[in-house]
């Protein structure tokens, strides 16, 4: 997207319900992934962390028997130390996010969905065979420690009801030329943003300008548990299933060519449907998709 | 000392008033120095930290503009991550200290003076020329950020009045064959330990078994600000000045050969005085001093 439009014209509203405190450090995985990606630091092999990272702290933590299921690289750790120190000094997550983005040379504006704590909590299904059956666990515990390889029976966003959108979030949606919903997990990445009071309202008001890219292609998610979670939580794991969830506040669905036969059903929901290649396997393909999404006539 | 007596017979009671929270991490500099030294990991050039340390997190923190006046090496950071995580899970500082010592292969028993927070606070003299004149600052701020290169007009140990000795501290002093006060800063390293209610009492009861090594040799401290602090806070910067402070609870002062002429004045305080080489410039000299101190006839 930053290759297609002027980066300074972009505001990214980022899920913070995956945030966690580990070793006393405030970790914001989604903010960091967006920051590292836009700074050109992202590790393209793993899909998380910093390219060319070193693991000295992690290795030592393992040697002394510390919790190290959540891998923290040395450069990545500096981000968490910085954030935690600034938060302890009274800075808001928005301020810290802006500081870190600026220090990393990111031009686009990055906003956490909220400065208030919201935490995704997943209930693990009892039939899952896991020792955590019927327990409610944190997102990173589910995603990283369990490798999202357990059945989920419920998801909630603890704290969302009392959270306020971060300063600028509602205004950005209100004034945006278009609002693009990235091909992210509808339930646990987009869902928490919608759960912050005020955000869904403004999206509904701007529905005509909201374009979503389906994260489901030919029934499956390219990565992560979106397909499985959709099925487990009562939706259909397809671009149509996503469109049904989004229809109240999204006017335009962008779906992959592999799902061309779903276009009519999506249009029957009262949505526009654009069919195009959506697999961002290279920076060039990502740029083409961004160009397509930006070019959709609304 | 661990070369002179059976290590498992040693209990070290360690000052925790230098502890700090930085970047959200609980840092216990004195506990770590004792642990690293007994584990053979200590950096003999710097006198702090781990030998052969790497600085990847520190360097990155500097690049992104984080606070990095307190240098944290990568392996050292693993200690702080471990400690902070365990404290957040409800473990006591004593428990964490024991875990880290065991994991590092330390046989001697290491006890923090207290599991309760005690913090050394120093008032910087107004005539010091520092922007912090008349301000009260934390120990590490004084010691590291200011390189203890400012005048101090007062020292207090915040929280000490409500702190309890850690489990085992009073019992260790009560039952020890002898209590050895290491050549440490009398005011800001030994002082906080005495300020924890109950510890001075038991030391006074065991006075006959308490042997202290003077940290002041020929009027100066080999390292750190002990000499300057003694003068600024109304004592004499000499082995005799230290002996005056210690006389109520120490029966035997060990002083360096350079201070032989002070022996009579120290004995006049009602103390025994042993004159011997006390500069621990090599492990062998340290061992000789330990042997001397352990061999003093009480």
Whether residue B127 is predicted with pLDDT greater than 80 in this model: the reply is: no
Confidence band of B11 (pLDDT split at 50, 70, 90): very high
Q: What sign does the dihedral B44-B46-B48-B51 (CA atoms) show?
A: negative
Which of B36, B41, B77 is most worth mutating to test chain A (most A CB atoms within 10 A of its CB)?
Answer: B77
Q: Do B23 and A25 touch (CB under 8 A)?
A: yes
Radius of gyration of chain A (CA): 19
Inform me whether the C-beta atom of residue B90 falls under 8 Å from chain A C-beta atoms.
Answer: no
Report the residue of chain B nearest A22, measured CA to CA: B85
Whether residue B123 is predicted with pLDDT greater than 70 in this model: the reply is: yes
Which of A28, A52, A56 is most worth mutating to test chain B (most B CB atoms within 10 A of its CB)?
Answer: A56
Inform me whether the C-beta atom of residue B66 falls under 8 Å from chain A C-beta atoms.
Answer: yes
Chain B residues in contact with A61 by the CB 8 A cut-off are 78, 81-82
Chain A residues in contact with B106 by the CB 8 A cut-off are none
Cα–Cα distance for residue pair A25/A140, rounded to 1 Å: 14
B104: nearest CB among A26, A64, A84: A64
Distance from the A124 Cα atom to the nearest Cα atom in chain B, whole angstroms? 23
B61: nearest CB among A61, A67, A78: A78
Q: Do B81 and A61 touch (CB under 8 A)?
A: yes
Report the residue of chain A nearest B58, measured CA to CA: A78
Inform me whether the C-beta atom of residue A61 falls under 8 Å from chain B C-beta atoms.
Answer: yes
Inform me whether the C-beta atom of residue A69 falls under 8 Å from chain B C-beta atoms.
Answer: no
Instruction: Specify burial of residue A2 (Cβ count, 10 A radius: 0-12, 13-18, 19+).
Output: middle
Interval B264-283 mean pLDDT: 97
Q: Do B75 and A60 touch (CB under 8 A)?
A: yes
Cα–Cα distance for residue pair A62/B91, rounded to 1 Å: 19
Cα–Cα distance for residue pair A117/A124, rounded to 1 Å: 22
Cα–Cα distance for residue pair A114/A163, rounded to 1 Å: 7
Looking at chain B, the whole-number percentage of residues with pLDDT higher than 90 is 88
Inform me whether the C-beta atom of residue B89 falls under 8 Å from chain A C-beta atoms.
Answer: no
Q: Do A65 and B23 touch (CB under 8 A)?
A: no
Q: Do A78 and B100 touch (CB under 8 A)?
A: no
- For residue B203, CA distances in Å to A87, B162, B179, B250, B251 come to 42, 19, 8, 8, 10
Report the residue of chain A nearest B23, measured CA to CA: A85
Q: How much is the pTM?
A: 0.91
- pLDDT per residue as tens digits for the range B67-80: 888 999 999 999 99
If DSSP codes are grouped into helix, strand and coil, which group holds residue A280?
A: coil
- pLDDT per residue as tens digits for the range B48-60: 899 999 999 999 9
DSSP A233: T
Inform me whether the C-beta atom of residue B61 falls under 8 Å from chain A C-beta atoms.
Answer: yes
B103: nearest CB among A26, A64, A80: A64
Inform me whether the C-beta atom of residue A204 falls under 8 Å from chain B C-beta atoms.
Answer: no
Q: Do B61 and A84 touch (CB under 8 A)?
A: no
Least confident of A131-140, A257-266, B213-222, B226-235: A131-140
Interval B14-26 mean pLDDT: 97
Interval B11-30 mean pLDDT: 97
Q: Do A61 and B84 touch (CB under 8 A)?
A: no
Strands of the sheet with A119-124, listed across from one edge: A136-138, A119-124, A152-158
Short-list A278, A289, A13, CA closest to A165: A13
Q: Do B78 and A63 touch (CB under 8 A)?
A: yes
Q: Are B16 and B113 in contact (CB under 8 A)?
A: yes
Q: Are A243 and A197 in contact (CB under 8 A)?
A: no
Short-list A250, A239, A258, A182, CA closest to A14: A182
Report the residue of chain B nearest A79, measured CA to CA: B61
Inform me whether the C-beta atom of residue A77 falls under 8 Å from chain B C-beta atoms.
Answer: yes
Give the pLDDT confidence score for residue B130 in this predicted structure: 59
Q: Do A61 and B67 touch (CB under 8 A)?
A: no
Inform me whether the C-beta atom of residue B119 falls under 8 Å from chain A C-beta atoms.
Answer: no
Inform me whether the C-beta atom of residue B57 falls under 8 Å from chain A C-beta atoms.
Answer: yes
Other residues' Cβ atoms within 10 Å of the Cβ of residue A107: 14
Inform me whether the C-beta atom of residue B234 falls under 8 Å from chain A C-beta atoms.
Answer: no
Cα–Cα distance for residue pair B119/A245, rounded to 1 Å: 54
If DSSP codes are grouped into helix, strand and coil, which group holds residue A51?
A: coil
Confidence band of B45 (pLDDT split at 50, 70, 90): confident
Inform me whether the C-beta atom of residue B65 falls under 8 Å from chain A C-beta atoms.
Answer: yes
Cα–Cα distance for residue pair A105/A109, rounded to 1 Å: 11
B25: nearest CB among A24, A54, A75: A24
The number of CA neighbours under 13 Å toward the Cβ of A284 is: 0
Q: Do B74 and A75 touch (CB under 8 A)?
A: no
Interval B185-202 mean pLDDT: 98
Confidence band of B128 (pLDDT split at 50, 70, 90): low
Q: Are B80 and B26 in contact (CB under 8 A)?
A: yes
Whether residue B146 is predicted with pLDDT greater than 80 in this model: the reply is: yes
Residues of chain A falling short of pLDDT 70: 127-133
Q: Do A77 and B82 touch (CB under 8 A)?
A: no
Inform me whether the C-beta atom of residue A55 falls under 8 Å from chain B C-beta atoms.
Answer: no
Chain A residues in contact with B87 by the CB 8 A cut-off are 24
Q: Which residues 6+ apart lie within 8 Å of A182 measured at CB?
A: A213
B81: nearest CB among A23, A54, A63: A23
Give the pLDDT confidence score for residue B260 in this predicted structure: 98
Q: Do A81 and B25 touch (CB under 8 A)?
A: yes
Inform me whether the C-beta atom of residue A85 falls under 8 Å from chain B C-beta atoms.
Answer: yes
Which of A27, A50, A74 is most worth mutating to test chain B (most B CB atoms within 10 A of its CB)?
Answer: A74
């Amino acid at each position: 997207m930053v290759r297609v439009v002027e980066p300074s014209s972009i505001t990214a509203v980022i899920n913070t319900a995956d945030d966690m405190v580990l070793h006393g450090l405030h970790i914001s995985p989604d903010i960091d992934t967006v920051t590292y990606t836009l700074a050109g630091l992202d590790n393209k092999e793993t899909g998380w962390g910093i390219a060319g990272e070193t693991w000295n702290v992690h290795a030592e933590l393992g040697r002394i028997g510390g919790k190290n299921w959540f891998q923290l690289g040395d450069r990545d750790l500096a981000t968490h130390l910085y954030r935690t120190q600034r938060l302890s000094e009274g800075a808001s997550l928005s301020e810290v996010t802006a500081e870190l983005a600026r220090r990393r040379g990111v031009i686009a504006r990055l906003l956490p969905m909220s400065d208030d704590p919201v935490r995704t909590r997943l209930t693990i299904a009892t039939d899952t065979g896991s020792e955590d059956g019927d327990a409610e666990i944190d997102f990173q515990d589910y995603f990283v420690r369990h490798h999202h390889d357990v059945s989920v029976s419920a998801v909630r966003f603890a704290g969302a009801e009392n959270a306020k959108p971060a300063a600028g979030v509602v205004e950005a949606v209100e004034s945006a030329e278009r609002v693009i919903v990235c091909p992210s997990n509808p339930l646990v990445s987009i869902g928490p943003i919608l759960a912050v009071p005020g955000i869904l309202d403004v999206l509904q008001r701007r529905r005509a300008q909201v374009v979503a890219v389906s994260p489901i292609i030919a029934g499956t998610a390219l990565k992560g548990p979106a397909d499985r979670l959709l099925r487990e939580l009562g939706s259909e794991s397809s671009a149509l299933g996503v469109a049904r969830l989004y229809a109240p506040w999204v006017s335009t669905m962008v779906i992959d060519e592999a799902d061309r036969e779903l276009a009519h059903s999506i249009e029957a929901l009262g949505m526009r449907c654009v069919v195009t290649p959506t697999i961002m396997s290279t920076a060039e393909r990502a740029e083409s998709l961004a160009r397509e999404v930006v070019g959709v006539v609304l």
